[in-house]
A and B are shown apart, each in its own frame.
Chain A
Amino acid sequence: MKDSITTVLYNRQMAPGYYCMGIAAPGYPQLARPGQFVMVRVNQSYDPLLRRPFGIFRTGTEELSHSEMESQDYMEVVYKVVGRGTRLMSHLVAGDEVGLLGPLGQGFCISPDAGGAMRDAVLVGGGIGVVPLFMLAQQLVARGVKVHLLLGGRNCGDILALAEFERLGVKTSIATDDGTLGEKCFVTQLLQATLQKFPAVQVFACGPTPMLHAVQQICAAAGAELQVSLEATMACGVGACLGCVVEGRNHSEQQPEYLCTCKQGPVFDAHELAWTQEALGPVLTPAEDSL
């Protein structure tokens, strides 16, 4: 966990409204685990004041022949322009400075049985929720797990990073609300069909809260293990402000059990959470500058 001022390496538009930013991030290829996030400060001014949380899409090391440095570690965040912070971020170019705090939070937990008893894993991504699933897919594939990726979005413009997953050899199924790509249905319907074929799998999901509620119900009914990555508006990202809490399984007014999305999450085992309508906070779609 480090806080530093670092450099934007590139900032490319992936699809209308979606960008991929590469940021110089020494140590991240070794440090960052799938499902972790970073807090990015888009500039040094007081407006916007707060950092924005972003899931880590991937990390890597680039060989540099022309520079004094032989190689450069980097990390990529993929983000959707939803508010002031992300709009300012979309205007940054190579060489601009950003504040980078991370890697933060608890990532996905890969079962010791992965590749052994656990041969199949289902990854469910709704829109920008695909972001933390890429590094997870990388690690699962490396362990010999067969990864089934299910992506959903309102239309074809919301389906991201398909080529990256294809290069990993991941089998991908797509659902869009308007049928402009893949099947015209909800991604949760794809999940239901997939769980019928592979009943004893581990499911990993990230996306809007209503999608996660549906995924949780489907997995509970099918007896599938589920981990979810939550998004939340955050101020500090380190568990201090208590602005991003969700209700834990045993939460009550008398015995509060609040979990910080930033510190105990953003990835939770589904059993840790309460799953009432209020438990994961209000449904904000799209969440302003959220994870």
Chain B
Amino acid sequence: MSSLNHMKRMSPPPKLEVEIAGLRLKNPVMPASGTFGYGEEFSPYLDLEQLGAIVTKGISLAPKAGNPMPRLAETPAGMLNAIGLQNVGIEAFCSQKVEFLKKISTPVIVNFFGNTLEEYIEVARRLNEVERVDAVELNISCPNVKAGGIVFGTDPVTAARVVSAVRREVQVPLIVKLSPNVTDIRVMARAVEDAGADAISCINTLTGMAVDLERRCLSLANGTGGLSGPAIKPVALRMVHQVVSSVSIPVIGIGGIMSAEDALEFLLVGARAVQVGTANLVNPGAMANIIAGIEEFLAQRGIEDVNSWIGSLK
């Protein structure tokens, strides 16, 4: 018994490196867009070099003001947000935010969106010229902006059109982020795969609502918001499992991941990597704990490579 423990201690730590569409990540953990700013905001709390990748806040062609306040409502084991994709725009992103990202070696995935097909194409073209951008994540699924996300992300024909148009503009890996607010996510997944997506990330937030009994009004100024946090994890797991079973491109699992165990569940059902969102807002060092926890879990079970855990569901 003691010799077995001894051997376990002596064995090298498990390999955590994964690959997504040619992009090598030192581990499968990255932030979800919109919960991590442009990276810099979290540098006091987290060594950004530790992360598998950095995923920026969604960028649009013009700066975007976002929704009026209130933008947040807490719900049981979750939260609703209706930030409205507030961002600095592609111009300011390139001139102000990229500089900080040059100081770190972690791969950078830039999330972006547009209000029209032409805007998607233009932002993609601009991002493709930025050396520090290692991959792009196409947001066709944000439920907050009436003119944007929801139209592209809920119709397979429209979604495929955006993906193939963007595909022509970018040489870096193209990740498409799917909305859960659809009848059958498998249809969307196949549509974007056929249109040229290199990977899929899912799920974005679930559209929800909260009311204020005292003031007799909706809690969010926008009316509806995106539900995130541990409350959505079972829905997210189901959808990631469905998507993994319907496409052959890699899938990044997202939805209510708070702990290493949560992350390991997504990997087990076949996600190649995971994105951590709301947990960053609760605990800015959350991803460091999750990475350490994944390593410890695998080491305790003698699993030498995370890739042999991924998709090993019986």
* Interface set, chain A 30-60, CB cutoff 8 A to B: 41, 46-51
Chain B residues in 8 Å Cβ range of A256: 63-66, 86
A238 at interface, CB cutoff 8 A: yes
Scoring B residues 21 to 58 as 1 if CB is less than 8 Å from chain A, else 0, what string do you get? 00000000000001111000110110000000000000
B71 at interface, CB cutoff 8 A: yes
* Interface set, chain A 94-118, CB cutoff 8 A to B: 99, 101
B147 at interface, CB cutoff 8 A: no
Known: A46-B229, A258-B66, A282-B221. A3 touches B79 (CB 8 A): no
Which range holds the interface residue count of chain A?
20 to 34
A243–B57 Cα distance when bound, in Å, is: 14
Scoring B residues 270 to 298 as 1 if CB is less than 8 Å from chain A, else 0, what string do you get? 00000000101111110000000000000
The main secondary structure of chain B at its interface with chain A is: loop
A240–B71 Cα distance when bound, in Å, is: 13
Count residues on chain B whose CB falls below 8 Å from chain A CBs: 36
In the complex, the answer to whether B35 meets A240 with C-beta atoms within 8 Å is yes
In the complex, the answer to whether A281 meets B45 with C-beta atoms within 8 Å is no
* Interface set, chain B 74-127, CB cutoff 8 A to A: 74, 76-79, 81, 83, 86
A41–B258 Cα distance when bound, in Å, is: 15
A218 at interface, CB cutoff 8 A: no
Q: Which residue of B lies closest to A241 (CB)?
A: B281
- A contacts, CB < 8 Å to B: 1, 3, 41, 46-51, 99, 101, 233-236, 238-246, 253, 255-256, 258, 263, 278, 281-282, 284
B180 at interface, CB cutoff 8 A: no
A1–B68 Cα distance when bound, in Å, is: 29
A135–B83 Cα distance when bound, in Å, is: 33
Q: Known contacts A46-B230, A238-B45; can you find 8 more A-B pairs with CB under 8 A?
A: A3-B45, A235-B72, A238-B42, A241-B72, A242-B71, A242-B86, A256-B65, A282-B69
In the complex, the answer to whether B71 meets A243 with C-beta atoms within 8 Å is yes
Q: Which residue of A lies closest to B62 (CB)?
A: A254
